[in-house]
Structure 1
Amino acid sequence: MTILPLIEAEGQLRELARRVEAGERITLTLDGKPVIELVPPEKPKEAAPLLGLEAFCAYKREKGIDSFFTYIAEDFDDPLPEDFLITPLPPLDGEK
């Protein structure tokens, strides 16, 4: 940790910012008393991405919609069967 008088730091703000960005902590003093501490920002913790059922349950909890979905089948995000995918859709009203 570096300690600098505030009067000394006034002309070096850009340089001090670079040092803090590199991870250094700098304390600025006024009349010998610490008044400002320059510290690097906390890095956000990256959470592992949620997939499938786990992601849906997290979303459900976050949005507070548990009352709408009381049951979720374990296989809700499994691939659809091939025969379902190749079956043509029924015609819409007015189509031949």
Structure 2
Amino acid sequence: MVQIPIREAKNKLTELARRVEAGETITVTRNGKAVMDLVPATKKGGIDWEAGKAYKKKLGIDSFFGEIPADFDDPLPEDFLITPLPPFRGE
């Protein structure tokens, strides 16, 4: 790992960026103490839905969760909201 003073890093930013792009990690220091690391950017991840479906299919549970209907997050009907719950029978 390379350490470089912040004053020098300011003057060589383009060079440092190229080195970091090549995979190097550079620690920038102020008064001999590390203040930041310059590291290569990572690709933003996310959920690979297709891979998940393929994995579930491989396990034979391809419809385990089913599909989420298009109206899943629609407001509930008013009569549903005002109907009281049945009494609780703690067993």
Question: What TM-score results when the alignment is normalised by the length of structure 1?
Answer: 0.48
Equivalenced residue count is 62
Computing the radius of gyration from Cα coordinates, the structure with the larger value is 1
* Runs (5+) with no aligned partner, structure 1: 66-96
* Runs (5+) with no aligned partner, structure 2: 55-62, 73-91
What secondary structure does 2:50 align onto?
coil
Q: Let me know the Cα RMSD of the aligned residues.
A: 3.6
The CA deviation at 1:8 is: 1.1
Tell me the distance in 1 between the aligned counterparts of 2:20 and 2:66: 37
Give the structure 1 partner of residue 39 of structure 2.
Answer: 39
- The one-letter code matched in structure 1 to 2:39 is V
User: Residues 51-70 of structure 1 correspond to what in structure 2 (within 5 A)?
Assistant: 54=53, 60=67, 65=72
User: Residues 10-21 of structure 1 correspond to what in structure 2 (within 5 A)?
Assistant: 10-21=10-21
Give the structure 2 partner of residue 81 of structure 1.
Answer: none
Question: What TM-score results when the alignment is normalised by the length of structure 2?
Answer: 0.50
Give the structure 1 partner of residue 27 of structure 2.
Answer: 27
Identical positions, percent:
43
